[in-house]
């Protein structure tokens, strides 16, 4: 077995076998990527094959991100949760008051009523994440709209299993993945600009990449950062 390094720090385990076709897989729980190839296949051909499916690999690794996060968290004291790329310890405080989240220096304080179950605790924390994005995004939109000559009519935040963001060019509406609240701010900026560029160019073609280079020259660095973050965060 050998290792093939992809953009974003993704390592692919390459195994040569007595087979005729290549087989690519992304495996739980940590998003391990493997490819089985014919014995005589060249390194260049393997790299070309895997790079052509990089989008598929990232999509399936992101599915594992959401799945693992959901499975790992019980929303109890001492758990690690992320906000803006920083890790915080969760502190649960039970009191007879509406649920809310308070950001501390190194902890997220989750205030809940006594007996609140994990699903409700999760909902309170996710709503807090949603509100943080709704505070951060308008300023970014206002910054980039005049540069790009576009107008975003509306944006929203929701949980998405396979995409960081989507854009409806006709409605000029952008949706952002709730998980972006956990990532470094430059990741949010990259995804938002990416979707705003789709208002000018709907396809991922040479013009799209040229526009990204113009409006966010370090977009490839931000993309690599987003895709190199730990699968379980």
- The pLDDT tens digits for 82-138 are 999 999 999 999 999 999 999 999 999 999 999 999 999 999 999 999 999 999 999
Helix axes 54-72, 43-51, angle to 10 degrees: 60
SS3 of 48-77: the string is: HHHHCCHHHHHHHHHHHHHHHHHHHCCCCC
- Over range 69-78, report the average pLDDT: 78
| pLDDT at 222 exceeding the cut of 70 | yes
Residue % of the chain over a pLDDT of 70:
93
Rounded distance between C-alpha atoms, residue 156 and residue 8, angstroms = 27
Q: Go through the domains of the chain in sequence order and give each one's CATH number.
A: 2-71 (no CATH), 73-228 (3.30.2010.10)
Nearest residue to 92 (alpha-carbon basis) of 113, 73, 71, 69: 113
- Over range 173-193, report the average pLDDT: 96
| pLDDT at 229 exceeding the cut of 70 | no
Count of other CB atoms within 10 angstroms of residue 90: 20
Helix axes 206-215, 118-148, angle to 10 degrees: 90
**Residue carrying the six token digits 């309170």:** 124
Asked if residue 33 lies in contact with residue 25, where contact means CB atoms within 8 angstroms, the answer is yes
State the number of CA atoms in the 13 A half-sphere of 131 facing the CB: 10
Report the predicted TM-score, pTM, of the whole model to 2 decimal places: 0.75
The DSSP H or E segment spanning 118 is helix 118-148
Rounded distance between C-alpha atoms, residue 179 and residue 30, angstroms = 17
Rounded distance between C-alpha atoms, residue 45 and residue 52, angstroms = 11
Looking at every residue in the chain, the average pLDDT score rounds to 90
Rounded distance between C-alpha atoms, residue 112 and residue 124, angstroms = 8
């Amino acid at each position: 077995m050998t290792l093939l390094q992809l953009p974003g720090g993704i390592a692919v385990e390459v195994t040569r076998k007595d087979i005729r076709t290549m087989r690519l897989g992304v495996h739980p729980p940590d998003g391990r990527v493997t490819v089985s190839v014919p014995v005589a296949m060249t390194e260049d051909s393997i790299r070309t094959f895997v790079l052509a499916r990089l989008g598929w690999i990232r999509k399936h690794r992101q599915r594992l991100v959401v799945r693992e996060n959901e499975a790992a968290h019980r929303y109890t004291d001492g758990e690690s949760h992320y906000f803006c790329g920083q890790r915080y310890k969760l502190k649960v405080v039970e009191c007879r008051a509406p649920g809310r989240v308070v950001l501390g220096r190194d902890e997220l304080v989750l205030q809940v009523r006594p007996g609140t179950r994990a699903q409700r605790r999760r909902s309170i924390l996710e709503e807090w994440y949603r509100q943080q994005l709704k505070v951060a995004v308008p300023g970014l939109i206002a910054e980039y709209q005049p540069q790009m000559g576009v107008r975003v009519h509306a944006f929203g935040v929701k949980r998405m299993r396979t995409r960081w963001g989507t854009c409806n060019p006709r409605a000029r509406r952008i949706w952002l993945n709730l998980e972006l609240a956990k990532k470094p701010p430059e990741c949010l900026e990259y995804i938002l600009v990416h979707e705003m560029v789709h208002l000018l160019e709907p396809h991922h073609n040479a013009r799209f990449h040229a526009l990204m280079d113009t409006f966010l020259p370090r977009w490839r660095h931000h993309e690599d950062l987003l895709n190199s973050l730990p699968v379980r965060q």
